Chains A and B, each alone.
Chain A
Amino acid sequence: MTPDTALPELICPAGTPASLRSAVDAGADAVYCGFANETNARNFPGLNFGKEELAESIQHAHNKGAKVLVAINTFPQAGRTCLWKSSVDDAVEIGADALIVADIGLAAYVHRTHPDMRLHLSVQASASSPDTINYYRQRFDIKRVVLPRVLTLPEIAAINKEIDCETEVFVFGGLCVMAEGRCSLSSYATGKSPNMSGVCSPASHVRYEQNAVGDMTSRLGDFVINRFSKDEPAGYPTICKGRYKVDGKAAYIFEEPTSLNAVQMLPDLLKAGVTALKIEGRQRSRAYVAEVVSAFREAIDDHMGGRTPDLQRLIALTEGGRQTAGAYRKTWR
């Protein structure tokens, strides 16, 4: 039986022009990406777009009927706000379809300077209540909010009943269980802020060491984050996914290395009023982007056509080789 919900928009990541083309070819409705500077939350070496590259990529996407959403979603640093404002101006000039922002001052700048520009509120704004979302909606005319990855399905449904803008939720990829945009764990360990410089666990501070038997230790700055035995699946070197000794026993005390996969919840998310489904992973390869995007395109089309989607093949791409429905089926509260 075909569902009575609207067709959702599939929002896909791109860290390079080649990834963007892969995402579009694989069936993305929209691709999100950022400039190669501190204005976006995936400011990693060798990643992201120059202005000219992004202009060409936007043209490519538009030619194929896809949109490009430009993430300018870190918080401007005092005395350096011109970088964030000029990035906004550049994105508008080259034809971005929407800007994804987190900072309240930058939202005000976009609304004031480019009133016709479509604004999305980044997950980095950590807007998780109707009052907060309505404030951004009323003051800056945001058209969509990307919801934090800590909300349950009933909470998302309840929020959607009290707001009059679109909601976008993560359905696959890395999880962040912190108050996004406000986490200081990585800053504490490295002195570099994910929220202001766009680098959570900057690679410059990450080290991996193998011992003679193949065990691997991962470090962030001066801190040992994890030790993996020879054939044990590894995870990202973030503090929140580290394994620490508590009462003499090593355990994942914040979060296990695992990826979100909400494909089974597709019908429930759409019934909850969600407009757009987002795949995380601008730092991942074009091979990952092509595989995940095509799988989700198929899943959405299957669902809308009344068929049962199957995405077990994505397990190989997940962190730690494991997946979870995350907070959508929260059992720990």
Chain B
Amino acid sequence: MLLRPLPLFPLRPLLDRIVLAVAEKHPRLFRRLGEHSQKIYAIAPTDLPLVFVLQPDPEYPILEPERNLEDVSYDALVSGPFMKLMDLVEGRLDGDAMFFSRDLTIEGDTEAVLALRNALDDIDGNIVDDIVESLGILSLPARQAVVCYRKLRARASNDA
């Protein structure tokens, strides 16, 4: 919870850039959601003091940070440890298995969550790499952080 004192406003342009880049690079992703592309998804990492709010409209996608879940009016809530959520987005983990093990919690519109999970799972390549590339001058440190994380993850996996 060390991040709590940090303001959220520097995150807003970054998240804007990320969601627009993902929509542009993977035009089929949000279209695959059909009616669910107009839903509001709250994505709440259980180990971070913020909530990501996503509206995956194919034309005007929105991704914003919020401090408190109570301030968000959402259709569906997805929560879990941040790195596991990223592994899910990357297609490295199986959402059902995460749900069975209780690493992933969902509330609200289950159909919308399922649609988003299925659409994300159809992405070829690595969406985390796409996100890193979209960060402009922050790409380099972000890439280093991701490389570092993947090494740690691989080591943890080998140790298991």
Contact = CB atoms under 8 A, between A and B. Distances in A.
B17 interface: no
A64 B94 CA distance: 25
Pick the most buried of B32, B92, B111: most chain A CB atoms within 10 A of its CB: B111
> Per DSSP, are chain B's interface residues mostly helix, strand or loop, or mixed?
helix
Contacts of B107: 207-210
A285 interface: yes
Interface in A1-38: 15-19, 21
B117 interface: yes
24 contacts: A15-B121, A16-B121, A16-B122, A18-B122, A45-B33, A45-B36, A45-B115, A47-B118, A203-B111, A207-B108, A207-B110, A208-B107, A210-B107, A216-B105, A235-B100, A236-B96, A283-B96, A284-B94, A285-B117, A285-B121, A287-B92, A287-B94, A316-B97, A317-B97
Interface stretch (A89-97, A176-184, A226-234): A226-234
B25 to A, nearest CB: 15
Contacts of B32: 46
Interface in B92-123: 92-97, 99-102, 105-108, 110-119, 121-123
Contacts of A235: 100
A116 B117 CA distance: 38
Nearest to B116: A46
Given A285-B121, A319-B100, A44 B105 contact: no
Nearest to A21: B124
Given A18-B121, A44-B118, A233-B102, A203 B110 contact: yes
B53 to A, nearest CB: 19
A233 B121 contact: no
Nearest 8 pairs between A and B by C-beta? A46-B118, A46-B115, A45-B115, A16-B122, A203-B111, A288-B94, A206-B110, A204-B111
A46 B122 CA distance: 9
B34 interface: yes
Contacts of A287: 91-94
Interface residues of B, number: 33
A309 interface: no
Nearest to A17: B122
B24 to A, nearest CB: 19
Interface in A219-252: 228, 230-236
Interface residues of A, number: 41
Given A16-B122, A46-B117, A285-B117, 18 more contacts: A16-B118, A17-B122, A18-B121, A18-B122, A18-B124, A19-B121, A19-B122, A44-B114, A45-B33, A45-B36, A45-B111, A202-B111, A206-B111, A207-B107, A208-B106, A285-B93, A288-B96, A317-B97
Interface of B: 32-34, 36, 91-97, 99-102, 105-108, 110-119, 121-124
Pick the most buried of B96, B99, B116: most chain A CB atoms within 10 A of its CB: B96
Contacts of A285: 91, 93-96, 117, 121
A208 B102 contact: no
Nearest to B121: A285
Contact of A321 (B95, B100, B111): B100
Contact of B100 (A17, A286, A318): A318
B100 A233 contact: yes
A210 B105 contact: yes
Given A46-B33, A210-B107, A231 B96 contact: no
Contacts of B101: 233, 316, 321
B94 A232 contact: no
